[in-house]
Structure 1
């Protein structure tokens, strides 16, 4: 539906140029969203997919183990949209004190993303409201170290920014002037609370994401925080009991369409086209995550069975290998020292168990060194990494 206008333009100055900056109307859009033509069915399908994802994680021995790696995979993908080159292996190596040589700036950004998410989830669990203060706190975590740390972490911007182009005058989009940011974010905060307006949580997340990206309230990190806002809303709205749904891979694979639809909302007020795209992404992403959980469950069971069925190995050795494998489910990339600590085995016993797992093809050594070796549960990492290719 074309609404012709989703806001108004105001003059602003950026880089010595006077530009037309867009100030969005408060949410929800008027006229209200059109849920006809199959859109209601899309909403129901996406909601059901979220329900399946939330329940299927109960199949895992410990959902937190899946969350540890899955959140890190998402952090990598979300940061790649912003131009970083880090991989999941880079991040896991970075988090190991013994590891070195990974691209520091890129992987620091990814690590900051995880810190921001964990802070936001912890605050919501303790009853803190989903509000602008929480978003500023998360932004401070997101930009605390590495690139962008000088760009007012935790503070709404006090200068004009722009998106795309070589300068403000030829930018693809210019967000609201700095003096309008507080009012725009206050209106967005009221919409986030949205008590009594009857808008389903999934639609609230779809609308709020676009509004946040349009306001672009910070000097840097808006894309990553805008994507985090989606999962916070789904958790806050009780559609998910864990932060399990991330759209970064979907948005990365359909980046041109994503940006085009954001522009159509701003220029034409076409919220419906965006909502269709968003709901399809939720359905696809949740369904893919369900398959990932099911595959991991099958992998864990198969590998435990392989160890238990090994011939010519003592019962004690099998128990040691199972404990090492359990440790690798917690951290699929680990040093030998950490594997010994996590499995509760002595260093020599852990080393012998790991060597047997390497010989059996379940575990691979990454460094090729005699000391400070790093071992990977390769099949686990492969399942997480394979979806990164478009």
Structure 2
């Protein structure tokens, strides 16, 4: 049934999410089975990798890039990893994208210490934007079609109204019912985006909150499931489904859309994690044949945690002199395991095999 809703009028009547029995239709429950199985497989793959920091440091960078691209902030994977430990030399798009990584970290810490709340959203959005963000208190926010510029949605207005909607969103996150966690995530994501509580950064904040919810519910022990690539590839459907919930209350199709994305993304991510584990083993075997100490576990950790690696980092992390670090890295580069490039007065050693694996769009079953 159509709602009493006008895209040009602030949607202060935005209702809270429906009860679980209206959200979990037969189609939704069937789709949730496959999505949950895929997430469980991904979580198991992540637990089995020798150094989970590799995943935590690298896969979120791909999400940062994709999530920023949705907001028309375009960077390359190479630039993100090149400036990972030297943001001051990067351009504005790279710096803004790297803030997404910071937002994920501070949001994860806040949720772990205090629970996932509206305050977490504020912390995350502030980190995303690099400045103190507060709930909107000025009227006039309108969302428009980027091509026609026609207004498609007007979020709630008035600070007290927005804070009330956020309290309702927070209560839904922790509602004492048996609602499937992935269904809860899909519904909460719509609700947050419909509230649109901040003047900017809502999309990226909402996508980070998705992963924080899955971690809080212990579906994942590491932040490695991200939907931004899926959203980019289905961008028109994403916004169409969001708007259909607002205009006609079409929850089922929205939830099914999100569950399809979770399942496809989790399966792809699991294959990528397994490929990373295989590459780490192969790299260690080849490095051992190149130089004594070349397969040192700490050195390998550095080279996979930071695919663009500097001599000073290896010296510090491995507790060796700079000449020793240089010798090991140079030997690995001569053997073709790393790419040695000049970067001003410094040298960068690039784990190109790993970077190529990370950016590969799909890995076959």
- TM-score, normalisation: structure 2: 0.91
Q: Is the CA contact (8 Å cut-off) linking 2:302 and 2:314 kept in structure 1?
A: yes
Offset from partner CA, 1:223-269 (integer Å, 9 cap, x none) = 00111111111111221122221101111111111111111111111
Cα distance change of structure 1 residues 25 and 285 upon mapping to structure 2, 3 Å threshold: same
- Separation in structure 2 between the aligned mates of residue 299 and residue 341 of structure 1, nearest angstrom: 24
- Separation in structure 1 between the aligned mates of residue 49 and residue 60 of structure 2, nearest angstrom: 16
For the pair 1:235 / 2:211, whether they are aligned, the reply is no
Aligned to 2:278: 298
Aligned to 2:354: 380
Q: Which residue of 114, 118, 133 corresponds with 2:119?
A: 133
Aligned to 1:336: 311
Q: Which residue of 258, 269, 275 corresponds with 1:278?
A: 258
Q: Which moved more, 1:216-225 or 1:56-65?
A: 56-65
Cα distance change of structure 1 residues 100 and 232 upon mapping to structure 2, 3 Å threshold: closer
- Separation in structure 2 between the aligned mates of residue 294 and residue 30 of structure 1, nearest angstrom: 35
Quote the RMSD (CA, aligned, Å). Answer: 2.5
- Separation in structure 2 between the aligned mates of residue 278 and residue 332 of structure 1, nearest angstrom: 32
For the pair 1:102 / 2:90, whether they are aligned, the reply is yes
Aligned to 1:15: none
Superposed displacement of residue 280, structure 1:
0.8
Cα distance change of structure 1 residues 31 and 350 upon mapping to structure 2, 3 Å threshold: closer
Which has the greater radius of gyration? 1
* SS of match in other structure, 2:218: coil
Q: Is the CA contact (8 Å cut-off) linking 2:103 and 2:125 kept in structure 1?
A: yes
Within 5 A, what are the aligned runs for 1:80-119? 80-97=69-86, 101-103=89-91, 105-119=92-106
Q: What are structure 2's unaligned runs of at least 5 residues?
A: none
Aligned to 1:14: none
Superposed displacement of residue 101, structure 1:
4.8
For the pair 1:182 / 2:150, whether they are aligned, the reply is no
- TM-score, normalisation: structure 1: 0.85
For the pair 1:367 / 2:355, whether they are aligned, the reply is no
Superposed displacement of residue 388, structure 1:
8.8
* SS of match in other structure, 2:302: helix
Offset from partner CA, 1:199-237 (integer Å, 9 cap, x none) = 111111000101111111100000001111111111112
Within 5 A, what are the aligned runs for 1:1-390? 3-5=1-3, 8-9=5-6, 19-23=8-12, 24-28=14-18, 32-36=22-26, 38-97=27-86, 101-103=89-91, 105-126=92-113, 128-144=114-130, 149=131, 153-165=133-145, 170-179=150-159, 180-195=161-176, 197-310=177-290, 317-320=291-294, 322=296, 324-367=299-342, 371-387=345-361
Superposed displacement of residue 34, structure 1:
5.0
Q: Is the CA contact (8 Å cut-off) linking 1:320 and 1:350 kept in structure 2?
A: no
- Separation in structure 2 between the aligned mates of residue 347 and residue 34 of structure 1, nearest angstrom: 59
Cα distance change of structure 1 residues 167 and 375 upon mapping to structure 2, 3 Å threshold: closer
Superposed displacement of residue 301, structure 1:
0.7
Superposed displacement of residue 368, structure 1:
6.2
- Separation in structure 1 between the aligned mates of residue 341 and residue 230 of structure 2, nearest angstrom: 30
Q: Is the CA contact (8 Å cut-off) linking 2:65 and 2:77 kept in structure 1?
A: yes
- Separation in structure 1 between the aligned mates of residue 178 and residue 277 of structure 2, nearest angstrom: 38
Cα distance change of structure 1 residues 272 and 167 upon mapping to structure 2, 3 Å threshold: closer
Superposed displacement of residue 52, structure 1:
1.0
Cα distance change of structure 1 residues 303 and 140 upon mapping to structure 2, 3 Å threshold: same
Superposed displacement of residue 324, structure 1:
3.5
- Separation in structure 2 between the aligned mates of residue 208 and residue 226 of structure 1, nearest angstrom: 9
Superposed displacement of residue 96, structure 1:
2.3
Q: What are structure 1's unaligned runs of at least 5 residues?
A: 11-18, 311-316
- Separation in structure 2 between the aligned mates of residue 232 and residue 303 of structure 1, nearest angstrom: 32
